[in-house]
Amino acid sequence: MTAARYPAGSDASIFGAADATFGEVKDWLTSEARSLSESEVERDLAERGREVLRRLLGAHVALRCQQEPLGPVVGEDGEQRKHVRRGWRSLMTVFGVIEVLRDGYSGRGLDSRFPVDSELNLPPERASLEVQRLCGVEASRGSFDEGVDALRRMTGATVAKRQLEQLAVRAAQDFDAFYDGTEDNGDANATGEVLVLSFDGKGIVMRFDGLRPGTQKAAKRSEHKLTTRLSKGEKANRKRMAEVAAVYTIAPWVHGPEVVAGRMRRVRDATEDAPRPRPERKRVWASLEKPPGQVVTEAFEEAHARDPNGTKRWVVLVDGARHQLELVREAAQRIGAEITIVVDFIHVLEYLWKAAYVFHKEGSKGAEEWVHVRLARILDGKASGVAAGIKQSATKGKLTPDQRKNADKCARYLLANAKNLRYHDYLRDGLPIATGVIEGACRHLISDRMDITGARWGLPGAEAILRLRSLRSSGDFDDYWVFHEEQERTRNHEARYADGVPPQLVSAAKRPHLRLVT
């Protein structure tokens, strides 16, 4: 499809091509289309209808391009641009390519300014902002190849794979500014009494230049079995850790340890008849570029914006990693927040199962019973006693260091985190004890998109996809895009005029016929 050009003219002549194309569609519907099935008509009509819309949009933009500045055109350099030269502008839209003629204002040794571009908020790239929005959505949804194909099938825009990735990076550039400038206007009392923060780390396979310096050194020392792909076990020095954060509020859910134990045994308890509280105003995000400590700090700032007076119970759900705990405590201290740290119950359970297979055959009823007995004691606040019992059992069984390895790991984990395993207190206070939200965030933000087989990411592209997926997961993408388009207007247009104000445009017919005296 070639791009139609829309020169200046009367309103009727500008829209004439669109009128003619619409007439052709009607003629087709009453003639050739009668021999087609409904689905064939539907597919063909979508294409023909898109052409009508392309011509309508082109005509509208051409009409806008006939406007003239009401006053002088002065750039940010303070220089007035008096020379006018008309030039064609090509724009890839969701309906296809349009080209319009508009005035550029310049002077000797000065670059041009296009006031109409400012009024229409046209990007410097060929792709319109609406095409860029769809590129951001499709790039975050699936692979870049799938995104290119989706745009081709569903719109009139044709975008190459590399261009799609570049536009996704551009689409995500205002992520931090959006959240930095977003005020929390919600009523803190209108949400649950528990404010939850949760963190985790997830590795992403990167291209060499996207690895952190220490990982790059390790990657250089490693050898590969194959030249075209990484074999099993070779990804260890090819990953960069993304820090994942979640902040949400939730109503307390008071229940006893027997309910948790029953859920582990898949036994339904009568107390579960009432629906469990759901997370409210959940925001999740992840970053590869920022150090983990910065992401943790941002999460605490987000929490403080939601609860500036500290009226809620602050709970931090983690998996027990020592470095993560240090970052959490430092961030809480800086902001002056009183927090309750809860180590994820599911992580504890996984350690118990691995320890069980030290003493019982894997998959046996004995292993299951062993786990549930100790689980009940941990839920009752006796994690240290369970750890001591595990070590004692391994010693009495005269197991070798290799045989008892998982038992010792479980015991050490329980002892190291004992003060954050007070599940009997947490359940009594209605606090969450499992990191389902952050685990889901890791899976959705990273695993479902970044772990596509064979994918190796560059840092800018990976960070952009994480940001876009975070916006969509948090339900903020639409608001973000309004903000992003305003930022684009400021960067691409307002910043290029004196005092950041482009000249006002009026219809040539309405422009006062006055001569500017200089």
pLDDT in the model for residue 329:
96
pLDDT in the model for residue 238:
85
Q: What would the pLDDT profile of 92-113 be if each residue is shown by its tens digit?
A: 999 999 998 899 999 999 999 9
Query: What's the mean pLDDT in 128-148?
Result: 95
Residue 84 lies in a domain: yes
Task: Give the closest residue to 438 by CA, choosing from 323, 285, 275, 300.
Answer: 285
* E strand intervals along 54-193: 67-69, 73-74, 80-81, 83-93, 96-107, 110-113
Alpha carbon of 306 to those of 76, 299, 494: distances in Å?
39, 11, 33
Residues 258 and 399 grouped into a single domain = no
Q: Indicate the residue among 120, 144, 163 that finishes a domain.
A: 120
SS3 of 391-426: the string is HHHHHHCCCCCCCCHHHHHHHHHHHHCHHHCCHHHH
Task: Count the domains in the chain.
Answer: 3
SS3 of 453-496: the string is CCCCECHHHHHHHHHHHHHHHCCCHHHHHHHHHHHHHHHHCHHH
Report the chain's terminal Cα–Cα distance, integer Å. Answer: 47
Amino acid (one-letter) located at 329:
R
Given a cut of 50, is residue 16 above it in pLDDT? yes
CB 194 within 8 A of CB 432: yes
Q: What would the pLDDT profile of 497-515 be if each residue is shown by its tens digit?
A: 999 999 999 987 655 544 3
User: Which tokens hold the place of 439?
Assistant: 């685990």
pLDDT in the model for residue 518:
36
Residue 149 lies in a domain: no
pLDDT in the model for residue 247:
97
pLDDT in the model for residue 11:
63
Query: What's the mean pLDDT in 15-33?
Result: 94
Q: What would the pLDDT profile of 139-166 be if each residue is shown by its tens digit?
A: 999 999 999 999 999 999 999 999 999 9
Query: What's the mean pLDDT in 61-90?
Result: 93
Residue 514 lies in a domain: no
Lowest mean pLDDT among 20-29, 299-308, 339-348, 451-460: 451-460
Residues 9 and 88 grouped into a single domain = yes
Residues 328 and 197 grouped into a single domain = yes
Question: What's the rounded Cα separation, in Å, for the pair 398 and 403?
Answer: 9
Question: What's the rounded Cα separation, in Å, for the pair 19 and 30?
Answer: 17
Residues 282 and 361 grouped into a single domain = no
pLDDT in the model for residue 514:
40
The answer for 149, left when phi > 0, alpha when psi is -120 to 50, beta otherwise, is alpha
Q: Indicate the residue among 93, 120, 147 that finishes a domain.
A: 120
pLDDT band at residue 56, thresholds of 50, 70 and 90? very high
Residues 205 and 242 grouped into a single domain = yes
Q: Which residues contact 406 (CB under 8 A, 6 or more apart)?
A: 354, 355, 357, 358
pLDDT band at residue 296, thresholds of 50, 70 and 90? very high
Alpha carbon of 105 to those of 64, 73, 76, 117, 329: distances in Å?
16, 7, 13, 12, 57
Q: Please return the burial class of 58, using the count of CB atoms within 10 Å of its CB with bins 0-12, 13-18 and 19+.
A: buried
Residues 421 and 323 grouped into a single domain = no
Q: What would the pLDDT profile of 215-260 be if each residue is shown by its tens digit?
A: 787 777 766 555 555 555 555 678 899 999 999 999 999 887 777 7
pLDDT in the model for residue 223:
60
Query: Domain range holding 331?
Result: 190-343+456-470
Please give the full DSSP string across 261-317, using - where no structure is assigned: HHHHTT---GGGGSPPP--EEEEEEEESSS-HHHHHHHHHHHHHHH-TT--SEEEEE
Residues 280 and 419 grouped into a single domain = no
Lowest mean pLDDT among 16-30, 71-85, 172-186, 329-343: 172-186
Alpha carbon of 240 to those of 25, 346, 439: distances in Å?
54, 25, 18
Residues 196 and 282 grouped into a single domain = yes
pTM of the model: 0.87
Residues 460 and 401 grouped into a single domain = no
Given a cut of 90, is residue 25 above it in pLDDT? yes
User: Which tokens hold the place of 503?
Assistant: 């000249």
Residues 356 and 296 grouped into a single domain = no
Residues 30 and 106 grouped into a single domain = yes
Q: Indicate the residue among 120, 152, 182 that finishes a domain.
A: 120
Given a cut of 50, is residue 26 above it in pLDDT? yes
Alpha carbon of 14 to those of 47, 54, 58, 276, 334: distances in Å?
22, 13, 9, 60, 62
pLDDT band at residue 38, thresholds of 50, 70 and 90? very high
pLDDT in the model for residue 516:
35
Q: What would the pLDDT profile of 435-494 be if each residue is shown by its tens digit?
A: 889 999 999 899 888 887 667 899 999 999 999 999 999 999 999 999 999 999 999 999
The strand pairing partners of 342, in sequence order, are: 317
Average model confidence (pLDDT) across the chain: 89
Residues 352 and 314 grouped into a single domain = no
The answer for 404, left when phi > 0, alpha when psi is -120 to 50, beta otherwise, is alpha
Amino acid (one-letter) located at 303:
A
The strand pairing partners of 99, in sequence order, are: 5, 90
Lowest mean pLDDT among 58-67, 299-308, 445-454, 469-478: 445-454
pLDDT in the model for residue 101:
87
The strand pairing partners of 507, in sequence order, are: 67
pLDDT in the model for residue 163:
95
Question: What's the rounded Cα separation, in Å, for the pair 377 and 258?
Answer: 11
Residues in the chain: 518
Given a cut of 50, is residue 398 above it in pLDDT? yes
Question: What's the rounded Cα separation, in Å, for the pair 270 and 408?
Answer: 37
Alpha carbon of 162 to those of 166, 168, 302, 453, 469: distances in Å?
6, 10, 34, 19, 19
pLDDT in the model for residue 14:
84
Question: What's the rounded Cα separation, in Å, for the pair 32 and 218?
Answer: 67
The larger pLDDT score, comparing residue 12 to residue 478, is at: 478
